[in-house]
Chain A
Amino acid sequence: MTGAPGLEDLLRACAPQVLGALVRRHGQFDAAEDAVQEALLAAFRQWPTEGVPENPRSWLVTVAARRLTDTFRSESARQRRELVSAPEEPPPVPGTDDTLTLFFLCCHPALSPTTQAALTLRAVGGLTTAEVAAAFLVPEATMAQRISRAKARLRGAEFVLPPPEDRAQRLSVVLRVLYLIFNEGYVATAGPALHRADLTAEAIRLTRAIRASLPTGAHPSAGASGGGASDTGGTPGGRGTPGGHGTPGGRGGSNDGSGSDGSGSDGSGSDGSGPGSGGAGSRGGAELAGAAGEVAGLLALMLLTEARRPARLGADGDLVPLADQDRLSWDGALISEGVALLTETLPVAPLGPYQLQAAIAAVHAEAPSAADTDWPQIVALYTLLERFEPGPMVTLNRAVAVAQVHGPQAGLELLDTLRPQLDRHHRWHAVRAHLLELAGDPAGARAAYREAARRTLSRPEQRYLNTRASRLAGG
């Protein structure tokens, strides 16, 4: 879509509610989603000249319902009879927010992660197929086919929240999809990929939307009087906060916190089953209380990462490593918001991997320089993160921090333990090159940089790695 950004924001914000209203009424997600797309495009054509209607959402629901009716009419006479008997005017949009239900549907486990992301961007985010296609750098016809296949696969899936016992796990899938969307945008460098930078903003907007759609009881901060929102001075990860959470092993990981004891009292028997249903108590409930901290954690992680974007590329589009970035160009407002969010969340929510990654980003964000970074704190946070999400890539990141605290040799020793898992991966060679350089082995570093450059699938990374290797050529 092109046009006034204000209009675009308004339309995109309306998209999930309009779709929710339509699906509730007609029950056909597939056709309803197409109808909403057409209504959004119609609004985009008409509103700039005819003015924004008094109630934009109702306008969109009415137009989309009409399109849907047309579709059904052309499809079968039986459906036409059913629809003729239905009231022409759509019912008022219910006060409930279907956004959460829509997120769960789009991130259905039957779909692959990239398809979940594409469908989420279109159905919840209100992006056109062309925009989603541009975001993933595929032809529009290919993306249209993926979306239509995904919707066909979801046919028969009910438009209700998942069973209470599944919600925390399903929410973790939604969060992973949002993080995937964010990263697609964040790694963009130049040329046609530049367009994808919008994806970080879109991912942040959608993460805010899911946070807002969680039942109020699920916000960890709801019970924390006074919160830490104004206490933005300190590093959230500082002062041993994560340690204060006790043993994370006891909670078993990111998908936990599912307190099934809440299911009886949260009206789950009726949730989402009818247009009239649903006060806050029926939309999510206590099952998501544990996961809300991770929603906040993911949002903080995105904000703190996005804050660095102005500094991550040099004037010629080259990647600038964190250590060399101009920290004055980091976005202070985003950092403040991310840090405040984390400060408010960490003391009250069950700890999780997104909060830990956000805490690491916060330590970097608040350090005046790479050398003045609280590296022991980063080592501690990565150690904790490894317990939540054990994996060689997390250990690889810890090795970088360990080298800062205990010297390059210690980092290299840790790195060696990862060789069997990672020696085909360019990042392992890149880190090894960096540590060899620090250790005073320019020849070894040069060879490792070249090896990393051969293995990466990213042209900007390859350029960066080859430059590092060339700089060592005289050594």
Chain B
Amino acid sequence: MKYLLLIQTNPAVFEALSEEERNAVFAGHDAFSAELKESGELLGFVALADPSASTTVRVRGGAVDATDGPYVEAKEFLAGYYAVDCETPERAVALAAKVPDAAYTAIEIRPVMAEAGLEM
């Protein structure tokens, strides 16, 4: 079963951490991605830039409107994800719990939809 482990982050929470704690988060990500690679469950991962680097695009009446910044300002936002393929939903929970940010913010597990289906 394929899932995205969506990492929520909150700059205020992250800034309140000690340098040691912050370093532990970075090291934790290295260790976690290595573990996923080793277990054969990793499909991919990305870390996202701060939303202040975003561009929001809308098409209205055929006209493209691109504006700087995110669509909505939020305290918590998506910081990145791990795409995993694991045996069970329980395993997905166990994996999400190993993402370092889970100790400070939250990880959302979203199942990936399949391009396959059974006739009813």
Tell me the A residues contacting B by CB distance below 8 Å: 112-115, 136-139, 142-143, 145-146, 149, 184, 187-193, 196, 312, 319-322, 325, 430-431, 434, 456-462, 464-465
The answer to whether B40 touches A319 (Cβ under 8 A) is no
Q: Which residue of chain B has its CB nearest to the CB of A141?
A: B37
- A457 to B116 alpha-carbon distance, docked (Å): 9
Residue of B39, B42, B85, B87 with most partner-chain A CB within 10 A: B85
Q: What residues on A are CB-neighbors of B112 within 8 Å?
A: 457
A187 is contacted by which of B39, B118, B120 (Cβ under 8 Å)?
B118
Instruction: Please give 20 more A-B residue pairs, beta carbons under 8 A apart, in addition to A319-B118, A322-B119, A465-B120.
Output: A113-B87, A114-B87, A139-B43, A139-B44, A149-B40, A187-B116, A187-B118, A188-B115, A193-B116, A196-B116, A322-B120, A434-B120, A456-B117, A457-B112, A457-B114, A458-B117, A458-B118, A461-B117, A461-B118, A464-B117
Q: Which residue of chain A has its CB nearest to the CB of B88?
A: A112
Kindly provide the distance from the CB of B120 to the nearest chain A CB, expressed in whole angstroms.
5
Tell me the B residues contacting A by CB distance below 8 Å: 2, 37-44, 85, 87, 111-120
Q: What residues on B are CB-neighbors of A139 within 8 Å?
A: 43-44
Interface of A is mostly: helix
Q: Which residue of chain A has its CB nearest to the CB of B116?
A: A187
- A136 to B40 alpha-carbon distance, docked (Å): 13
Q: What residues on B are CB-neighbors of A114 within 8 Å?
A: 87
B115 is contacted by which of A190, A430, A431 (Cβ under 8 Å)?
A190
Residue of B40, B41, B43 with most partner-chain A CB within 10 A: B40
Residue of B43, B85, B87, B119 with most partner-chain A CB within 10 A: B119
Kindly provide the distance from the CB of A319 to the nearest chain B CB, expressed in whole angstroms.
5
The answer to whether A189 touches B116 (Cβ under 8 A) is yes
Q: What residues on B are CB-neighbors of A430 within 8 Å?
A: 120
Q: What residues on A are CB-neighbors of B38 within 8 Å?
A: 145, 149
Q: What residues on A are CB-neighbors of B120 within 8 Å?
A: 319, 321-322, 430-431, 434, 461, 464-465
- A430 to B117 alpha-carbon distance, docked (Å): 13
The answer to whether B40 touches A145 (Cβ under 8 A) is yes
